[in-house]
Amino acid sequence: MEEHLSLLIHRSDIEQTVSRIAHQISEDYEGRQLLVVGILKGAFIFMADLIRQISIPIEVDFVTVSSYGSGTSSSRRIRLMQDMTMPVKDKDVLIIEDIVDSGYTLNYVIQHAKDIGARSVAVCALASKPSRRETPVEVSYLGFTVPDKFIVGYGLDFDNKFRYLPDIYALESGDE
């Protein structure tokens, strides 16, 4: 399969959006004990840029979950591969996700944070693909709504490729 990349979101638009979201999070959580939890691996670049611009004290943690394997669609079987290591009980948790697709992974992580005692749980996502949603999920802070295409770059990958790209692209097969 030959792969072609088509630019969807330029890095300057990503930078402006990250700044806007960080400012809103800082305002909304002023005076609260915020634990920011990134979903690995896809969210790490977005999360790193985001937390450098948040102006309030935060704690940082990560979870690793999987629902894709090496394919382009969710298997709907969520596996918690690495749990949070920070105490969650009675904290406000902000989950950072790269892209909200079917909603299954995010709903799993939200419920898990609630089950282990989070005071509140909110979601911040770089991108959302609402046309693919199979289960409802509330995103409090959203960067971009994207079309029903497989997207890569800025941390998003296909089979662990293309994460390094500073812009966001649609990945198109040469077979199409």
* Catalytic residue set: 101
CA distance 77 to 133: 15
DSSP alpha helices (H): ranges in 29-149? Answer: 44-53, 104-115
Residue at 98: amino acid letter: D
In angstroms, how far is the first alpha carbon of the chain from the final one? 10
92: phi then psi, degrees, rounded to nearest 5? -85, 125
